């Protein structure tokens, strides 16, 4: 899988759901999320971690019910998040009786989960689900400071998205039959990433740490015979404003100009002028809710036709940084096309 | 994948490697590990976390070189560990240029990684690697107390294994050709687990938390038409002495008697009489080094013929337990047979 993977079967994203918080609801994509807690981001739970689990439970439940599916209809569940030991997923999804594969891909988890779902769907006619989440309050106290501390953020700092996205991927013929004549997002290619570490150590500049990994995967994809002009959109997961600029520059130095079609879920989710979010959104939930709520919907509606989605992740831990290590990044690429079945 | 999965291709475990610590070297399986640090478990590193990463780097390197493979020959790398954000794997394997899929399956990671490798190998002719690890000193300070604190352990407490195992799985025809006439472990079936939570909250009795999950998967497997008599060995990952007893009792109440062929990697790795390890070994490294070093070697040598391996994992975090949650468990089952190619 060092090269671009093309499935033998038709692999469709047959259902998605997005659950998000107050700040996300207030942003430019607010209207696109299925369910939001506009009160206090607690989703009725007593701790932020439990709120994050609850978001995942709700997101998968919604994605299943939108497609009129039950647990039995889905053969594999790929899920992970940023919390230590991925407890957002482990607890949030423990009520579902679906074979469970825990992932840790940091903020690339949505892309990793969709890719492994696609791989599973290529091996056999089956449905697989990918779920991930992040919660601003849980992430801040785990990775940086508890909110009560009131720590200042630097201009390159990003804002962890409170949100969860769920995706149901299918290669089941019956699902295609049911959707005849409708426009469905189809996963036509994928290219998994290598771990790339360029020596960035600033935990308040994750965009810079992840951009080289995204650039590496995108370059390998275009070296495989594609060009940026083929796509309506090349969207990265959560490089934010800072990381997006770095990505475009890195690729330009390789004579690949994606600037006309590039955007980033971390740039789209908040209003840079009206919301005090510095370098933009980040976290597992960032690309998950933007893809599930906004971009895949645009593909279904025909607003977008052919896109590249590169899920980006920073694979460090606070302890590793305290021990002097730099931040390894990863970028997993999916080519998704709107197709009238 | 709610039912037993049977691959279309022949899926071989073509190479394994095990790296372990001083206590593991001193145990009954000491002679079976490829590389051990009998001095101080540091593997030449300054921190326990970096030592754990180094074990993974060494294990994968050894597994590749035993099969005369380079990074380019392996299409996917599935890896994870117990450390927050899985930094054992992320840093240990960042030097390898192999498409990287981070996992979090707690102590079931070896089984999860081998299963996803098998799934990948079923989808296409390819090689995939699974790597995992744990380190006693890193795990104790993260999950319980720093060693310097000198906390007492209860009789049901297990001892996190210091070790890393790597497995190269292949469905490449050329690999079968090369091994014609030799005996190779072949993955003939697998059954992924559900998340099962029976309300155990004692972090010093992980065996009890994981046993119901293992029992659930094993019962589903035998409900699928198999019986315990078909197997030379039914080996669980790290239930230890306590959890193993619970597993056998749980299954007996379902009229399934595995007691004659059941053992557990956590029971095998230390000498219960001579080593002060209470309820036995645990951790991602436990099943990884026992499978890679001992059991799969016995399959190659013809000592064992047909086995079930059930990787067990406890999916909690210290924070989740502090917030009053119980411990969810998981058990992933693999049927592995020795086959003369």
For residue A320, give the nearest of B1, B91, B119 by CB distance.
B91
A147-154's contacts with Cβ under 8 Å and 24+ in sequence apart are A153/A204, A153/A278, A154/A204, A154/A205, A154/A278
Question: Residue B51, CB half-sphere, CA atoms under 13 Å: how many?
Answer: 23
User: pLDDT for A209-267, tens place per residue?
Assistant: 999 999 999 999 999 889 999 999 999 999 999 999 999 999 999 999 999 999 999 99
Bridge-based pairing of strands B127-134 and B163-170 is: antiparallel
CB A187 within 8 A of CB A338: no
Gap between the Cα atoms of A134 and A159, Å rounded: 11
**pTM of the entire structure?**
0.98
Instruction: Answer yes or no: do B84 and A84 touch at CB < 8 A.
Output: yes
Residue numbers in B near A116 (CB within 8 A): 101, 116
pLDDT for A225 equals: 87
Q: In whole angstroms, what separates CA B81 from the centre of its chain?
A: 10
Residue numbers in A near B103 (CB within 8 A): 101-104
Bridge-based pairing of strands B262-264 and B233-236 is: parallel
Q: Give the model's confidence band at A1: pLDDT under 50 very low, under 70 low, under 90 confident, else very high.
A: confident
Dihedral Cα A194, A199, A201, A207, nearest 10 deg: -50
pLDDT for B1 equals: 84
Residue numbers in B near A114 (CB within 8 A): none
Mean residue pLDDT of chain A comes to: 97
Which SS3 state, helix, strand or coil, does residue A68 take? Answer: coil
Instruction: Answer yes or no: do A328 and B94 touch at CB < 8 A.
Output: yes
Query: Across B12-108, where does the E strand assignment appear?
Result: 12-20, 35-36, 76-81, 100-102
pLDDT for A203 equals: 85
Average pLDDT over residues B97-118: 98
Å between B112 CA and nearest CA of chain A: 7
End-to-end CA distance of chain A: 28
Take residue A335 and report the two structure tokens written for it.
């080519």
Closest C-alpha among B1, B4, B3, B42 to residue B21: B42
Query: Across chain B, where does the E strand assignment appear?
Result: 12-20, 35-36, 76-81, 100-102, 127-134, 159-160, 163-170, 183-191, 233-236, 262-264, 281-282, 306-314, 329-340
Average pLDDT over residues B241-254: 97
pLDDT of residue A22 exceeding 90: yes
User: pLDDT for B25-74, tens place per residue?
Assistant: 999 999 999 999 999 999 999 999 999 999 999 999 999 999 999 999 99
Q: Give the model's confidence band at B137: pLDDT under 50 very low, under 70 low, under 90 confident, else very high.
A: very high
Q: What are phi and psi of B73, to 5 degrees?
A: -80, -10
Q: Give the model's confidence band at B203: pLDDT under 50 very low, under 70 low, under 90 confident, else very high.
A: confident
Q: Which domains does chain B have, with CATH numbers?
A: 11-175 (3.40.47.40), 187-340 (3.40.47.40)
Gap between the Cα atoms of A308 and A185, Å rounded: 12
Bridge-based pairing of strands B183-191 and B306-314 is: unpaired
Average pLDDT over residues B141-164: 92
Average pLDDT over residues A110-114: 98
Instruction: Answer yes or no: do A1 and B323 touch at CB < 8 A.
Output: no
Average pLDDT over residues A46-68: 98
Gap between the Cα atoms of B264 and B241, Å rounded: 8
pLDDT of residue B132 exceeding 90: yes
Per the listing, tokens 């190479």 go with B15
**Listed range (A51-55, A109-113, B146-150) with the worst mean pLDDT:** B146-150
pLDDT of residue B180 exceeding 90: yes
Average pLDDT over residues A166-189: 98
DSSP assigned state of A103:
B
Instruction: Answer yes or no: do A99 and B318 touch at CB < 8 A.
Output: no
Query: Across B87-177, where does the E strand assignment appear?
Result: 100-102, 127-134, 159-160, 163-170
Task: Give me the residues paired with residue B15 across strands.
Answer: B168
Q: Give the model's confidence band at A23: pLDDT under 50 very low, under 70 low, under 90 confident, else very high.
A: very high
CA angle at A207 for the pair B100 and B84, rounded to the nearest 5°: 50
Å between A254 CA and nearest CA of chain B: 20
CB A335 within 8 A of CB A220: no
The conformational region for residue A41 under phi > 0 = left, psi -120 to 50 = alpha, else beta, is left
pLDDT of residue A153 exceeding 90: no
pLDDT for B225 equals: 87
| Closest-approach residue (CA) in chain A for B330 | A100
What is the number of residues in chain B?
A: 341
User: pLDDT for A222-233, tens place per residue?
Assistant: 998 899 999 999
| Closest-approach residue (CA) in chain A for B49 | A320
For residue B126, give the nearest of A1, A75, A98 by CB distance.
A1
Closest C-alpha among A6, A10, A16 to residue A298: A16
pLDDT of residue B153 exceeding 90: no
Instruction: Answer yes or no: do B122 and A123 touch at CB < 8 A.
Output: yes
| Closest-approach residue (CA) in chain B for A190 | B99
Instruction: Answer yes or no: do A104 and B122 touch at CB < 8 A.
Output: no
ipTM for the complex? 0.98
Which SS3 state, helix, strand or coil, does residue A17 take? Answer: strand
Instruction: Answer yes or no: do A323 and B84 touch at CB < 8 A.
Output: no
Average pLDDT over residues B265-287: 96
DSSP assigned state of B197:
-
Mean residue pLDDT of chain B comes to: 97
Dihedral Cα B106, B109, B115, B121, nearest 10 deg: 130
pLDDT for A310 equals: 98
Gap between the Cα atoms of A287 and A282, Å rounded: 8
Instruction: Answer yes or no: do B91 and A325 touch at CB < 8 A.
Output: yes
Residue numbers in A near B134 (CB within 8 A): none
Instruction: Answer yes or no: do A94 and B197 touch at CB < 8 A.
Output: yes
Instruction: Answer yes or no: do A122 and B119 touch at CB < 8 A.
Output: no
Gap between the Cα atoms of B97 and A194, Å rounded: 6
| Closest-approach residue (CA) in chain B for A90 | B315
For residue A101, give the nearest of B120, B192, B196 by CB distance.
B192
pLDDT for B158 equals: 94
Residue numbers in A near B98 (CB within 8 A): 2, 194
Instruction: Answer yes or no: do B101 and A98 touch at CB < 8 A.
Output: no
pLDDT for B63 equals: 98
Average pLDDT over residues B8-17: 98
Over the Cα atoms of chain B, what is R_g?
18
Gap between the Cα atoms of B316 and B327, Å rounded: 5
User: pLDDT for A274-309, tens place per residue?
Assistant: 998 999 999 999 999 999 999 999 999 999 999 999
Average pLDDT over residues B266-277: 95
Gap between the Cα atoms of A127 and A122, Å rounded: 10
Å between B51 CA and nearest CA of chain A: 12
Gap between the Cα atoms of B120 and B114, Å rounded: 10
For residue B91, give the nearest of A97, A103, A328 by CB distance.
A328
């Amino acid at each position: 899988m060092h090269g671009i993977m093309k499935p033998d079967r038709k692999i469709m994203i047959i259902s998605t759901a997005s659950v998000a918080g107050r700040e996300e609801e207030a942003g430019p994509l607010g209207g696109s999320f299925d369910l939001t807690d506009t009160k206090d981001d607690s989703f009725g739970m007593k701790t932020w971690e439990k709120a994050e689990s609850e978001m995942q439970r709700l997101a998968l439940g919604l994605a299943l019910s939108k497609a009129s599916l039950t647990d039995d209809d889905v053969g594999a569940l790929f899920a992970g998040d940023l919390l230590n030991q991925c407890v957002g997923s482990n607890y949030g999804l423990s009520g579902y009786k679906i074979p469970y594969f825990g992932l840790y891909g940091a903020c690339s988890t949505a892309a990793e989960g969709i890719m492994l779902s696609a791989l599973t769907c290529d091996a056999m006619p089956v449905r697989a689900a990918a779920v991930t989440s992040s919660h601003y309050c849980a992430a801040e106290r785990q990775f940086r400071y508890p909110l009560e501390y009131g720590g200042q953020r630097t201009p390159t700092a990003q804002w962890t998205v409170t949100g969860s996205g769920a995706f149901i991927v299918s290669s089941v013929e019956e699902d295609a039959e049911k959707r005849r004549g409708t426009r469905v997002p189809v996963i036509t290619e994928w290219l998994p990433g290598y771990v790339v570490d360029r020596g960035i150590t600033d935990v308040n500049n994750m965009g810079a740490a992840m951009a080289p990994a995204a650039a590496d995967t995108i370059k390998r994809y275009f070296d495989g015979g594609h060009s940026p002009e083929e796509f309506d959109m090349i969207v990265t997961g959560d490089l934010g404003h800072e990381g997006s600029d770095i990505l475009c520059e890195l690729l330009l130095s390789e004579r690949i100009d994606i600037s006309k079609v590039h955007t980033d879920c971390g740039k789209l989710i908040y209003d840079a002028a009206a919301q005090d979010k510095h370098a933009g959104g980040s976290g597992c939930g960032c690309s998950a809710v933007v893809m599930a709520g906004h971009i895949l919907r645009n593909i279904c509606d025909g607003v977008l036709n052919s896109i590249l989605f590169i899920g980006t992740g920073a694979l460090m831990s606070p302890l590793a940084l305290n021990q002097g290590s730099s931040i390894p990044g990863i970028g997993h690429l999916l080519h998704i096309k709107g197709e009238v079945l």
